[in-house]
Amino acid sequence: MKLPFKSYLMGIVTIMLSFFLISSTASASLTEKMLVTQENFERGTYESTKVAMALGTVANQVNSSSYSNMVDINGDFERDSNHNQLPDFWEVVWRNGESSNSYAVLAPYEPVQGKLHYRLYNGDDDAQSYQYVLSDQIPVTGGSAYTIKAFLRYYLPVGRAEMSIIQADAQGNNNGEIHYTYNNGGWKWNEKNNSFILNPDTKSMRIRFGVGGEVGAYLDVDKVELTQLDINEGFEKDENSNNLPDFWETVWRNGTSTNPFATIAPYEPVDGKYHYRLFNGLNDKESFMYVLSDPIPVLGGSAYEFSSYLRYYLPEGQASVSIIQADAQGNNVGEIHNVYGNGAWNWKAHYTRFVVQPNVASIRIRFAVGGEVGAYLDIDQVKLRLLNTQGNLNLVHYEYNQSNEVKRIIYPNGKIAEIEYDANGNQVQRKIVKE
């Protein structure tokens, strides 16, 4: 019997793909092979399609070196290129425990947007069973802060839903996990928004969702987004058009002055189109105008540098920059203050190097101006950088360009030198930008 050429060709491709899957899985690193089986060992038995696990392993090996930092994670779950009812990038699924009829599958039941969402069901007859789904690897920058957003739908009066960040070092070893748990959801879409900081040696991460703790537990997932935390350092973004820059919308004034304000302003910024302007108002020199950032995750006990460009006169009053430290429960556990005055109404860079306390989980940055009637403070180009995790302010810190050449040196006394190179990599200029 002769086969049509198309069927013959598809048969050859299928054989080659099967061989590729088997050989790729066999040659995977021990860490790669153990990613799911280690979970199974710790959590109990699982049910999953081994094809999905093999595909996940192959996809990670092929793509881990080619993904950009902003890899498309298919967070709306609209793509299923191999038509296995598991969305691309999220095909590693399993269930622990002893329940029956558990599953993870694409579903069309009133998603947040698009046509589909992801549905997890932990099955019948065993309240302790959990159904899990795990993303492919996502390249990340160790020591950096990220934000994960997801829409989750669940009831769970007794059980719980989980969203976890699984970190891995350069060798693929698990070097830390971050967990968020939810219940009593009212079967409506609940938007979750969590910021976190990765360990310094983290090179990749995976996102895991799970549901269980009661019989017949459902979890629907949609619109998963992962972004590096953006503190809106140039104050250019104002998504809700309220003239307050995103991430810096908490403003207030103490005292009794009239007409105080905080607003985005376009008056000769350091860079871009806008800067932030604070004005403490009229008729009360003791009034101060404040602005406070959103929380910024940090590594407790580590050394940081915060920099900002400030513009002010203030012959009598003062401007201040404060670091407000908080523990994991949000309690204030310490503050660091820097006060400035007698400016010349020109932009000047200010640097603060500090060590956060060991129990600190996040910080907020606060700016203030007052102490004289009609005091102005302009702010632009704010930056927070991790110096080291040892909490040592006496180390020399080096920054490199894309050619791996030293472009910036930060000395223990706060002095900063910048180096420029020609096209051949020869050093052509070395200048001190901060004494």
Q: Mean of the per-residue pLDDT values for the chain?
A: 86
Question: What mean pLDDT do residues 131-148 have?
Answer: 96
Torsion sign over Cα 258, 261, 267, 268:
positive
If pLDDT is split at 50, 70 and 90, which confidence band does 22 have?
very low
Output the CA–CA distances (angstroms, integers) from residue 298 to 195, 234, 293, in the order listed: 10, 21, 14
Q: Is the pLDDT of residue 183 over 70?
A: yes
Q: Is the pLDDT of residue 1 over 50?
A: no
DSSP strand pairing (92-95 vs 275-279): unpaired
| Tens of pLDDT, residues 142-162 | 999 999 999 999 999 999 999
Closest alpha carbon to 359 in 337, 395, 385, 391? 391
Question: What mean pLDDT do residues 150-175 have?
Answer: 97
Question: What mean pLDDT do residues 259-277 have?
Answer: 98
Residue-level pLDDT at 55 = 31
| Higher-scoring residue by pLDDT: 207, 20 | 207
Q: What is the pTM of this model?
A: 0.73
Range scoring the smallest mean pLDDT among 11-15, 91-95, 291-295 = 11-15
What whole-number distance in Å separates Cα of residue 130 and Cα of residue 211? 5
| Tens of pLDDT, residues 365-378 | 999 999 999 999 99
Structural Rg of the chain based on CA atoms: 26
What whole-number distance in Å separates Cα of residue 402 and Cα of residue 23? 36
Could you give the 3-state DSSP secondary structure of residue 40? Answer: helix
Q: Is the pLDDT of residue 240 over 70?
A: yes
| Tens of pLDDT, residues 41-94 | 233 333 333 333 333 332 333 233 333 346 899 999 999 999 999 999 999 999
| Higher-scoring residue by pLDDT: 420, 215 | 215
Count the neighbouring beta carbons within 10 Å of the beta carbon of residue 63.
14
